[in-house]
Structure 1
Amino acid sequence: MTTSAAALPAIAPAAKAESFATRYGALCALLLLAAAVRLPLAFWPNIVHVDELYQYLEPAWRLLGHQGVVTWEWRDGIRSWFLPTLFGGPVALGDWLAPGGWGAFVVPRLVVGLASLSIVVTAWHFGERISRSHAIVAAFAAAVWFELVYYAPHTLSEPLATAVILPAAYLLTGELARNRLFTAGALLALACVWRFQYVPACAVFALAACWRDPRNTIALVAGGCVVLVLSGALDLAHGSAPFAWLVRNIQQNLLHDRASEFGDAPAAAYVLQASILWSGTTLLMLLALWRGWRHAPLLIVAAVVNVAFHSMIVHKEYRFIFLSIALLIIAAGLGSADWVQMMRRQNPWRSLAVVCGGWLLLSLGLSGATLIMRDNWMRGIGVAQLMAELEADPEFCGLALYAINYPFVPGRGQLAARRPIYSLYRDDPLAKGRLPAVVKTHQAGFNRIIGPASLASELPADFSPRSCAMISDDKLACVFARRGACDAPASPFGVNDVLVRLNY
C-alpha cells in the first residue's frame, strides 16, 4: 500500500525550524565555541615557524608591489604561488584596515582560523553517522583539543591542507555520488597542491573510494583535474612552467638533500614528540582510538600512512604531521563517545558532560604542561614587542639587525616597519671578523638597531638602548636608537643581498 504525496500532512514552518534547531543547534554552539577559542589567537603574535612569514605572507606582500624578504626557496623556484596568491586578498584587506603591518599579519590569520572550523564540522558529520552523542563528542574534541587550537590561526600549508582534506575524507567514506566524488577530488587536489607531502594520506581515501567501484575514478579525477589546471594557470601567470616548482622542490630536498641542512631527526621522532605532548594521556588516547577504529578505520589508516611517510624524510618538524593529529583526534573522539553510551543508562546528559569535560580538562592541562608547548606559545613574542615599538616610533627611518640570527626579525620588520632593513650577521663573508667596523661605516643608513644587549659595547657611541625583550630562551635583545635622519645610499648589507651570500 502506498501513500500519495497529497495525503501526507504538511509540516508547519515552526516544526521545520524546531527540527533544524534540534539537529544543528549543538553544531552551531560548538562552532561558536571553536571560533571563540581560535580567532582571538590570531591577535596573539606568536609564530610556529618562519615559513608562515617567508613562504606565504611575504610573497603575498610582494605581489601587492611592496618590498619583501626573498628566501632561497623563492630564488630557486621550489614554491607554488597558489597560497601566496590566495593570501594576497587578506593581506591587502588587513593593510587597508590597519596600515603599518599589524593588519597584514592578523587578517590572514583570522581567515586561516575560520578555515580550521571545517575540522569541527567534519568531526560532527562523521559522528552523526553513528549517533547524536558521537557527533557532539567528536566535534567538541576537535573544537578544544590544544594542538588543533594552537595551529589553527597560523598561515601554514599544513592546517590549510587539513581543512580541505577532512571534508573530502567525509565525502569519500559515505554514500558515493558523482557530485560528491567530483567535489572530493577537487578538495584532495587542492590539498596536494598546497602540501604535496600529503599525497600518500590523500591516496588512502581516494583508493578506498575507487576500490568500492572503479567507475568512481572518473568523477574523482575530473574534480582533481579542475584544480590542477587552475594551479598550472597560476604558475603560468607568475612566469613559470606549470608545476616546475614541484620538480625543483623534489630535486632540492630529495636529490640534493637541502632540507637536511635545517636539521635531521630519527625515524621515531614524531611518535616520541607526540607521546611527550600527550604525556600521561597517551594510554587513554590509545584506548579511545581502539574504540574509534570500529567507526572510522580509514581515518586512522591515513594518519598512520602520513606519519610513516614523513618519518622517512630526514628533516622533521611536528607541524608536518598536523593532518595526522586532526585525523586521530576525530577518531579518538568517536571512540570516546562510545563511553557516553555505556554510561547513559544512569543519566545521558551527565555522561555526555563527563566525556566532553574530560576532553576539555585534558586539553587545558596539556596546552601548557610541557616545556615544548610553553615555548611554542611564546615563540616570536619578543620580536613582536620590539617591532611594535619601532612601528610607533615617528623618528624611525632605517633598521639594522646586528649579530642576530633570530629568523623572525626580518619578516616582521618588512611587514611592520616598511623602512630599509640592513642585516649585519657574523657569518656574512663581507662582515666576518669586523662587524663593529661595518656598523660604524654604514650607520648613516639607519637610526635604529636591534641587537643583543650583551653586545651594546660594540655599537657606535651615539646609539643608546631603549626597550628590550627576550627573543630566545637565552638572548635578550634591545632596540638601540640614535637621533637624526637616515641617508640610505646603496649598501651591500640589505636583507636580500645578505641572504644571497649566505644561501638562505
Structure 2
Amino acid sequence: MTAGAATLSEAVTVPAVKATSFAERHGMLCAVLLLAAALRLPLAFWPNINHADEIYQYLEPAWRLLGHEGVVTWEWRDGIRSWFLPTLFAGPVALGDWLAPGGWGAFVVPRLLVGLASLSIVLTAWHFGARISRAHAVVTAVAAAVWFELVYFAPHTLSEPLATAVILPAALLLTGELSRNRLFIGGALLALAFVWRFQYAPACAVFVLGACWRDLRNALPLIGGGCLALAVGAGIDVAHGSTPFGWLIQNIQQNLLHDRASEFGVAPAYAYVLLTSVLWSGATLLMFLALWRGWRHAPLLIVAAIVNVAFHSVIVHKEYRFIFLSIALLIVAAGLGSGDWAEMMRRKRAWRVSGIHAVCAGWLLLSLGLSGATYIMRDNWTRGTGEGRLAAELDADPDLCGLALYGTHDPFLPGRGQLALGRPVYSFYRDDPQARGRLPILVKQHERGFNRIIGPSSLAKELPADFMQRTCALTSHDITACVFVRHGACDAAAAGPFAINAVLMRLNY
C-alpha cells in the first residue's frame, strides 16, 4: 500500500513539476507574443495602404490566379515580378473571399497572415536575448513587439516585411553555435528572402560570410539549403509558364539599365538617414546609445543593417519600406543593448524588482509617443483610409454595374483584393494619349458603360449632368474624391476603349 501510494504520488507530482518548469521558461515569451499579436492583428482590418504595390503587385495577381479579372500593371506586363508571393497569397485570398464574398475578406485574410508572420521577428529577438540573460530576452522581445515601425508595417502585404520575417530567424541560426541543420535551414531562409526581395541580398551576404568566415566547410550546407529554396522558386516560375528567374533579369534590366524606377521619384543618398532621424526624432541619441551597447552582443545585426541602408542609398528611387529590414535589425540590436541597462538596474537594490519593467515600459512609451509624433507617421496611419471608405460603399452597392475613374488611375480601393469589385472598371485619365484635352467629352460619350464614377470633387463640373455626388473622402494625395451616381443600367461595350487595363497599357503604367 505504501509503495503504491508513493508510485501514485510520483505519477501525480512529476507532470506538475514539468508544467511549472514550462511556465517559468515560456510563460513570459507567450505573454510577449500575445502582446505583439494584439498590436498587429487588429491592424489587418484597418483599411490603411502603405503603397499601391501591396494591392497591385501581390493581391491583384493572386486574385487573377484564381481565375478572376484584375488590374495588370507594367511590372507584370514586362515580367519583372516573381510569381512566388502571389502564389503564396492565392490561398488566403480565396479563403477570405469565401468567408466574406464580395467584401473585405480577400483583403483582410492575407494581411492577417503577414501579421502572424511578423511575430517571427519578436520570437527571434527573444532568442537573441536569451543567449545573454533572461532580462535581455524579455527586454529585446518587448522592444520588437511594441516598436511603432515594426507594428505599422506588420500587416502590409509587401515583400519587405515578409522577407524580413525570414531573414531574422536565419540570422539567429547563422550566429552562435553552428550545426549542419542550422546552416541548412538558415541558407534556405536566406534564399527564400532573396526570391521575395532580391535587393536584400547584400544584407543576407553579411550573415553568410559571418557563418563561413572561420570554416569554409560551413558553406556546403548553406548552399544546399539555399538551392532547395531556389528550386522551389524556379518551380513556381515554370508552373506559371515563365523562365526560371527570368523576372530577375528583366527587373535588373528595367530598373538598372533603363532606369525605370526613377520615373516614380528620386531622392539623395542621405535620404534614409535623414528620414530615420526624423521618425526617431528625440529618441535618436538614446537609440545610438543602446546600439553602442548592443554592438558587443550582436555586431553582425548592425553591420547587416548598415550594409542594407548603404546599398539602397545608392539606388536613386527610395521608399522608406525598402529599408524595413535595417529597422528590424537595429531594433533587435538596440533591445539587446537596453537589456544591459535592465541588468544594471537589477544589481542595485532599489531597482532589483522593477529594472526589467522600467526598460520595457520605456520602450512602450517611446514607441507610443513616436507613432504619432511626426507628420510622416500620421500620414502613414491614415494613408488609403479615405479610398477604403469609398471602396466599402461600392462593395455594398447592389446597383453598381460599372465604375469609371475620372482624373485618377490608381485610387488604391482596398476591397476584396482587386479593383474591379466584380464589375467592369474604366479609366478617364488626362495623360492617356487617347483622351488628352477631351476628358469631359469622352466621359459623356461613354457614360452608358458605367453608372458610378470616382473622381476629385474639384472636377465635378466636368462630369455628365445625370451623375450626382454622393459620398466624399480625403485621399492619400490630399485630394477630396467622391462617388458620383447615375441611376440606370450599363452597357459594357459602350466604354470598351477605356477599360482600365487598356488605359494602363497605353500609359505604360
Superposition TM-score, scaled by structure 2 size: 0.96
Q: Letter of the 1:159 partner, please give it.
A: P
1:84 corresponds to 2:89: no
Q: Distance in 2 between matches of 1:120 and 1:485?
A: 52
Find the counterpart in structure 1 of residue 501 from structure 2.
Answer: 496
3-state SS in 1 of match to 2:498: coil
Alpha carbons 1:387, 1:412 under 8 Å: kept: no
1: CA distance, partners of 2:195 / 2:376: 30
Q: Alignment partner of 2:80: what SS?
A: coil
Indicate the residue corresponding to 2:297 in structure 1.
295
Identify which range, 186-195 or 451-460, moves more after superposition.
451-460
Give the 3-state SS of the residue equivalent to 1:422 in structure 2.
strand
Deviation at 1:212, TM superposition (A): 2.4
C-alpha distance in structure 2 between counterparts of 1:410 and 1:462, whole Å: 27
Distance in 1 (alpha carbons) for counterparts of 2:35 and 2:251: 39
8 A Cα contact 1:69 1:411, kept in partner: no
Deviations 1:46-83 (A, max 9, x none): 00101101110000000000000000000000000000
Name the SS of the counterpart of 1:468 in structure 2. Answer: strand
- Aligned AA (2:172): Y
Partner of residue 408 from structure 1, selected from 389, 409, 412: 412
Where does 1:293-372 land on structure 2 (aligned, <5 Å)?
Answer: 293-344=295-346, 345-346=348-349, 347-372=351-376
Instruction: Give the superposition deviation at 1:414.
Output: 3.4
Inter-partner Cα distance in structure 1 for 2:395 and 2:417: 9
Q: Which residue is equivalent to 2:250?
A: 248
Q: Distance in 2 between matches of 1:474 and 1:194?
A: 32
Partner of 1:6: none
Q: Distance in 1 between matches of 2:219 and 2:293?
A: 31
Change (3 A) 1:406 1:59: closer
Amino acid of the residue matched to residue 435 of structure 1? L
Task: Provide Cα deviations, 1:369-396, integer angstroms capped at 9, x if missing partner.
Answer: 0000000011111111011111111111
* Structure 1 residues 24-423: aligned runs within 5 Å: 24-344=26-346, 345-346=348-349, 347-409=351-413, 414-415=418-419, 417-423=421-427
Q: Equivalent residue for 2:4?
A: none
1:271-318 Cα deviation digits (max 9, x unpaired): 000000000000000000000001000000000000000111110000
Partner SS, residue 430 of structure 1: coil
Separation in 1, partners of 2:469, 2:416? 20
- Alignment coverage as a number of residue pairs: 496
State the AA in 1 paired with 2:46: W
Shift of 1:474: 3.4
Q: Distance in 1 between matches of 2:297 and 2:309?
A: 21
Q: Indicate if the aligned counterparts of 1:201 and 1:306 stay in contact, CA closer than 8 A.
A: yes
Q: Distance in 2 between matches of 1:178 and 1:406?
A: 48
Q: Measure, in 1, the Cα distance between the counterparts of 2:420 and 2:378.
A: 26
Aligned to 1:3: none
Aligned to 1:476: 480
State, as a whole percentage, how many aligned pairs show the same letter: 76
In structure 2, the residue corresponding to 1:125 is in which secondary structure? Answer: helix
Alpha-carbon distance in structure 2 between the residues aligned to 1:224 and 1:19: 37
How far apart are the structure 2 equivalents of 1:475 and 1:214? 57
Q: Distance in 2 between matches of 1:427 and 1:399?
A: 19
**Cα offset for 1:409?**
3.9
Letter in 2 for 1:189: A
Q: Which runs of 5+ in 1 are unaligned?
A: 1-8
Deviation of 1:101 (Å): 3.8
- Structure 1 position 19, deviation (Å): 1.3
Map Cα deviations across residues 59-117 of structure 1 (whole Å, 9 max, x no partner).
00000000000000000000000000000000000000001140000000000000000
Distance in 2 of aligned mates of 1:415 and 1:446:
15
Contact 2:47 2:414 in 1 (8 A): no
Does structure 2 retain, via aligned residues, the 8 Å contact 1:289–1:335? yes
Contact 2:386–2:474 at 8 Å: present in 1 too? yes
Aligned to 1:5: none
CA 1:503–1:64: 2 relative to 1, 3 Å: same
Tell me the CA shift for residue 184 of structure 1: 0.4
Structure 2 unaligned blocks of 5 or more:
1-9
Structure 2 Cα separation of the partners of residues 101 and 157 of structure 1: 24
Contact 2:312/2:322 (<8 A) preserved: yes
In structure 1, the residue corresponding to 2:341 is in which secondary structure? helix
Distance 1:173 1:23, change over 3 A: same
For 1:268 and 1:411, locate their aligned partners in 2 and report how far apart those are by CA, in whole Å.
36
How many angstroms apart in 2 are the aligned matches of 1:203 and 1:348? 41
**3-state SS, counterpart of residue 414 of structure 1:** coil
Instruction: Tell me, yes or no, if the aligned pair for 1:54 and 1:411 is still in contact at 8 Å.
Output: no
Contact 1:424 1:431 in 2 (8 A): yes
- Higher mean alpha-carbon deviation, 276-285 vs 389-398, is at 389-398
Shift of 1:472: 3.4
Q: Is the 8 A contact 1:406 1:471 kept in 2?
A: no
Q: 1:460 aligns with which of 442, 457, 464?
A: 464
Give the aligned CA root-mean-square deviation in angstroms.
1.4
Q: Contact (CA 8 Å) 2:387, 2:411: kept in 1 or not?
A: no
C-alpha contact 1:398 1:420 (8 A) present in aligned 2: yes
One-letter code of the match for 2:503? Answer: V
**Secondary structure at 1:95's aligned position in 2?**
helix
Question: Aligned partners of 1:249 and 1:473: how far apart in 2?
Answer: 28
**Other-structure match for 1:445:** 449
Which range moves more in the overlay, 379-388 or 471-480?
471-480
Give how far 1:352 is off.
1.0
Separation (CA, whole Å) in 1 of partners of 2:325 and 2:188: 18
State the distance in 1 between where 2:417 and 2:441 align.
24
1:424 lines up with 2:456 in the alignment: no
Indicate how the Cα distance of structure 1 residues 416 and 494 shifts in structure 2: closer, same or farther if over 3 A, else same.
Answer: closer
